[in-house]
Structure 1
Amino acid sequence: MPSTLAGRADLQATATTRSSGLVVVLAFSGIVVSLMQTTVIPLVPRLPTLLNASAADTTWAVTATLLAAAVATPVMGRLGDMYGKRRLLLVSLALMVTGSVVAALSSALAPFVVGRVLQGLAGGVIPLGISIMRDALPAERLGAATATMSSSLGVGGALGLPTAALIADHAGWHLLFWISAVLGAVVAGLVLVLVPESPVRTGGRFDMVGAAGLSVALVCLLLAISKGAEWGWGSGLTLALLGTAVAVLLVWGWWELRSRQPLVDLRTSARRQVLTTNLASIMFGFAMFGMSLVLPQLLQLPTSTGHGLGQSLLVVGLVMAPQGLVMMAVSPLSARISAARGPKTTLMLGALVVAAGYALSTLMLSAIWQLVLVSCIVGAGIGLAYGAMPALVMAAVPVSETAAANSLNTLMRAIGTSVSSAVAGVLLAQLPLPGGFRVVLAIGAGAALLALAIAAFLPARRDG
């Protein structure tokens, strides 16, 4: 009997070690992808000179990645459910590595944008990772693991900005993309060794018509949102893109409801818990980005303006870094609150904390320590909420649709972020500073409160 008990203990210890290794590798993959997304930020003002192109054209280095990620996220999620989440995770990482190498070898705009598109196609890594966790981990570990995976996005951004600024200033910008390629290759190797393939698959045929329709609609919508200020919100091109997006989405919805194996199961997505969580996610995406737009500008504006702090991009990165680290730090707390009171409570608490942080920020814009404090408060709220969202979604969808459902939720956050960027850009261009900053931050608080109100309509804990 003692030997039997010892054997069981050894097996449990081995299983725990494997589970911990899987969580670490998947979270690391999320950090690497978010690092990749942050890498280009310090280069944006320099890209016209580096690539011998106009400032308007070089904005495609950012826009192309956004569009590619939006298209890839739901497609990779559905393919993961059908053909294996680990397999599609490896495909995503391979695309990121390829894109990083192409960008690292580029000296002109066209190949650089191609590289950024390939990097953006790795946008499905985090929802795929969360879905793998649902299949591979015991229920008691799933909440903390998914919260950690969700917060990896903030950690990557936190570490990426100061690191990218430092490397770009002292070692050359191409090195940033070589580092991204190496990290991506390392993660892919770790996934091959430590992450098992899930046996849960839907099989069937991939919905090519649905994928094409959603891709066209998303590209038109996000292109109009991201370029509307530049082209003019009332311009023919902007209005045509928005009209096309609406028309295609209506036809796409009709097709998906009649398809036997749709890209997105709209009936499942219309369930109260899934729909409400996705609506709240849009608001959180909107709220989160306001701080990311205001703080860098406020920090870098010359002190001669009377409201700027005259800091370098490296200092901006160091000020923003604690926010992402706080997101990771609160992820275990998010899991504990969800386990004790349900993820609905965690999501509502996160919204309240974000709103409080934004409200405080409208009064504290005059010193670096104040900006660090308010960004950390907002980061804590986002960390709480982002840990709850996957739990809410996964509790309401079949196991066979986990990756697709998580990918759709990630896409909703991205849409909220894009709209936030457009709204804040217009306001900061039209309103005098620092009043414009305070208006954007107040809108961020309002978006968080709206997320709180939406979350209140989530079902009771029995569904969470």
Structure 2
Amino acid sequence: MSTAPMRSGTRALVPALMFVALVVAAVGSLGTPLVTSVATTFHVSLDSAQWTLTIALLSGAVATPVLGRLGAGPHRRATILATLAIVVVGSALTVLPLPFAWLLVGRAAQGVGLGLTALLMGVARDHLPEERSAATIALISVVSIIGAGVGYPLAALLAEFGGLRTAYGLGLLVTALALLTAWRSVPAAPAGRSARVNVAGAIVLAGALFLALFLAGERSLWSRHLAVAVTLAVVAVLLLGLWTTSELRSRTPLVDVRAVRHPAVAGANIAMFVGGSGMYLLLTLITRYAQTPPGAGYGFGLTTFAAGLVLVPFSVLGFVAGRLTPRVRERIDGPLLLAGSAAVVGCGFVVFATARSGLAELLVAMGVLGLGVGSFSAAMPGVILAVTPTSETSSAMSFNYVVRSVGYSLGSAIGGLVLAAGTATGRLLPDDDAYTTAALVGIAAMVITAMTGLALARRRTPGTGPTAAPDGVPVGAPGRGRSSRTGS
């Protein structure tokens, strides 16, 4: 391949990866602002309508490790295109005048696209120069989170003026464009790789994740049928243990569990789980508070569209933080950035806990959250990939995104449980103090996350040279991954 085509392809590849990452994230979040519209259009309960969001998160969590393993092999391009085709079909099902069950099928198909983020990172690591790949991977991580802030107000606006099918029609349009973009821009994986999917392990993991996300989403189960909830939780833990044992014994593991046990990777995943719970908790608290009618004694009674605009500072400042983080990493180590980002999110909780009488204060809290989430998301891949072989990029990051999905679900569940506990008998809305209690829980989560980052930073010995990856090749060493970058 000549130098000119390579440079031209590189220029086209970066925006293509960003666009696809943004689309799958935005489409996956379409369920959030449309729950009420779904309930009224299909004449179902709000709990049933909530599954349009839950089922997308669930299918994404299950698909992510499978796609990550497929992305580690020679058929990564085909995997990306096939996944986007599934998302397009799912988007069409959400637009067609079909019964509610088919809407859930369509949303599940759209959620599969959430598993593409790790594969896009693998493409960037293989086909971009070292410095540019690190910045691109960081931005892909950020875009995969702030995509919700982009999709939420657009979907709410279209639903308000054009109806539910029009809002879902936006998803069909952008996913079709994403498929075309990927077909034109994503290169094939380097030659010489192989990847087999451990089907039995995938089934066991799917069962465990389904139970975990189901228990996180069905908050009423814990209050009305505690024994059943506890039993299902025990089964989920047993399935995870069985899956881990199976992965350790398998010659073709779905996730390289031995690499996950590396202190840096394990610590980063703990930080992602706890930190993700706290970050999503604050996001849901602010959105719900803004939409609460003033008759409750607090809140601003914003419409779905107006509440979506509250997410704009989150998306804008999150993107800015994501762009700046790779430069900051040249001076500050990744684990310290994770700790600092957790502290910033903690400040957002403090703002929300102490000052929320005006809409401007909610916007400030959302902006602070965006700064923290953007820098946290941009720093996370660097911490994990610093000790991960190039060929295992997709697999390692896919596991991290499964952890993130479960953490987000847990954060949503915690918020619901705390607010439910703060709702007086006979009232529909929680007391204002319940939001303060939930914010204190979030502050505790961010303290744990910051301490985890600091513990990781203390394990790093300055001046010892590049960090050794599990394949024995130090990250940043000359020639690392170069043979694979030339293939397309």
How many residue pairs end up in the alignment? 454
User: Secondary structure at the residue paired with 1:262?
Assistant: coil
Q: Structure 2 CA distance, aligned partners of 1:349 and 1:416?
A: 19
Partner of 1:208: 199
Q: Quick one: structure 1 residues 392 and 233, their matched pair in 2 at CA, closer, same or farther if it must change by over 3 Å?
A: farther
Q: Residue 323 in 1 paired to residue 314 in 2? A: yes
For residue 139 of structure 1, report the CA deviation from its aligned partner. Answer: 0.9
* Alpha-carbon shift at residue 204 of structure 1 (Å): 4.6
TM-score (norm 2): 0.89
Amino acid at match of 2:441: I
Question: Against the structure 1 CA distance between its residues 216 and 140, is the aligned structure 2 distance closer, same or farther, given a 3 Å change threshold?
Answer: same
1 CA distance for matches of 2:192 and 2:439? 43
2:150 matched residue in structure 1 = 159
Displacement of 1:340: 2.5
Distance 2:215 2:278 in 1: 20
**What is the Cα deviation at residue 278 of structure 1?**
0.5
CA spacing shift, 1:204–1:331, aligned 2, 3 Å: closer
Q: Which residue of 2 aligns with 1:222?
A: 213
Inter-partner Cα distance in structure 2 for 1:113 and 1:374 = 33
Shift of 1:84: 3.0
For residues 405-452 of structure 1, the C-alpha deviation after alignment (integer angstroms, 9 at most, x for no partner) is 000001111111111111110111111521111111222222112111
1:121-140 Cα offsets, whole Å, 9 max, x none, are 11112111111111111111
Alpha carbons of structure 1 residues 314 and 201: separation in structure 2 relative to 1, 3 Å: farther
- What amino acid is the match of 2:177? V
Shift of 1:201: 5.9
Cα deviation code 1:61-112 (max 9, x no counterpart): 2221121111001111011112433222212211111111011114421111
- The reply on whether 1:338 has 2:329 as its aligned counterpart is yes
Residue identity over aligned pairs, in percent, reads 30
Cα displacement string for residues 331-359 of structure 1 (whole angstroms, at most 9, x for unaligned residues) = 12110111222222221221111112211
Q: What is the CA–CA distance in structure 2 between the aligned matches of 1:379 and 1:18, rounded to whole Å?
A: 32
After superposition, the Cα gap between the structure-2 partners of 1:197 and 1:367, relative to the gap in structure 1 and judged at 3 Å, is: same
More deviation in 94-103 or 435-444? 435-444
1:173 to 152, 164, 168: 164
The alpha-carbon deviation at position 380 of structure 1 amounts to 0.5
Do the aligned partners of 2:207 and 2:239 also contact (CA within 8 Å) in 1?
yes
Q: Cα–Cα, structure 1 residues 201 and 309, in superposed 2: closer, same or farther, change >3 Å?
A: farther
CA distance in 1, matches of 2:455, 2:135: 24
Higher helix share: 1
Distance 1:191 1:376, change over 3 A: same
| Matched residue, 1:124 | 115
* Paired letter, 1:168: A
- Offset, 1:379: 0.8
Alignment correspondent of 1:437:
435
Q: How does 1:242-253 map to 2 (within 5 A)?
A: 242-253=233-244
> How far, CA to CA, are the matches of 2:75 and 2:385 in structure 1?
17
- Aligned 1:332-411 pairs, distance under 5 A: 332-411=323-402
Q: Which digits, 9 at most, give the CA deviation of each residue in 1:376-405, with x for residues without a partner? A: 111101111101111111111111211010
Q: What are the equivalent positions in structure 2 for 1:4-19 lying under 5 Å apart?
A: 11=3, 15-19=6-10
TM-score when normalising by structure 1? 0.93
CA contact (8 A) 2:74 2:190 kept: no
Relative to 1, partners in 2 of residues 1:410 and 1:233: Cα closer, same or farther, differing over 3 Å? farther
* Distance verdict in 2 for CA 1:448–1:98, change over 3 Å: same
- Asked whether 1:111 is paired with 2:109, we answer no
Distance 1:279 1:106, change over 3 A: farther
Quickly say closer, same or farther: Cα 1:205–1:150, change in 2 above 3 A. closer
Tell me: CA distance 1:53–1:311, structure 2 relative to 1, closer, same or farther (3 Å).
closer
SS at match of 2:253: coil
Any stretches of 5+ residues in structure 2 without a counterpart? 423-429, 468-474, 476-488
Q: Distance in 2 between matches of 1:388 and 1:55?
A: 37
Which SS does the other structure have where 1:232 is aligned? Answer: helix
Shift of 1:179: 1.8
Q: How many angstroms does 1:366 deviate by?
A: 1.1
Partners of 2:43 and 2:16 in 1: CA distance: 39
State the 1:20 CA deviation: 3.2
The amino acid of 2:255's aligned partner reads: V
Larger displacement relative to structure 2 (390-399 or 234-243): 234-243
Name the residue aligned to 1:302: 293
Match in the other structure for 2:486:
none
1:128-182 deviations in Å (ceiling 9; x for gaps): 1111111111111122111211111233212211111110011121122222112
State the match for 2:129 in structure 1. Answer: 138
- Letter paired with 2:101: A
Contact conserved, 1:106 with 1:112, CA < 8 A, in 2? no
